[in-house]
Amino acid sequence: LFGQDQAPAPVFKEGDTWQFNITRTVGNTSSTELLEGTYELTFTQGNVKLYQVSGSQKDEMPIQPDGATQILLNLLGKSEQLQGLKFPLSVGQEWTWEYKYRVPGGRRDIRAYVKANVVGIEQVTTPAGSFKAYKLVSSSRTELGPNVTTSTRFYSPDTKSIVKASAVNSANPGSTQTELIKFTPGQ
């Protein structure tokens, strides 16, 4: 796959299942945010279903047109709002996109501008295993000011997903970390 220098768009199979752990930190303490904890994504009947996992309990999450559920779908390149993966992926590839979102309780949409680059291929280890992965670096800013969020993500064709990601904002000392903790291929 990597000898071809490209990762084609993934073909999902019925029952493909991913579990991700997302942690957020602010300085040395953890913050409570909507997207924090363990999430499961399952490909079934042509769609992705999202679940929040707590111990042995799984609660299905309704997919919203923007916000947190789009961030989860973006881990598989399935977000309609976010274009974080643009297939086929190849080293040196660059693309940009814009999207709108609304802060919970906000009165208006905010426009965000993103630039992404595929900068290389690296070996990445997560609780789910060790994978050769395309390294993507993106920067985003909003119309509200100069603050920039820089994200580093690793996409593995073996799991058809992001296997590891981190994001930091220039105005906030905290970070968000995402790791694939389990991948189960479908039929």
The pLDDT assigned to 4 comes to: 53
Ordered mean pLDDT values, 10 residues apiece, the chain (187 residues): 74 98 71 73 97 95 86 90 89 92 82 94 97 96 89 97 94 89 96
| Contact (Cβ atoms closer than 8 angstroms) between residue 36 and residue 28 | no
Q: DSSP assignment, residue 87?
A: S
From residue 124, how far is each of 27, 158, 173 by CA, in Å? 25, 12, 25
Supply the pLDDT for residue 33: 41
pTM over 0.85: yes
Q: pLDDT value at position 84?
A: 87
**Cα dist. 6→49, 83, 123, 129 in Å?**
28, 17, 16, 22
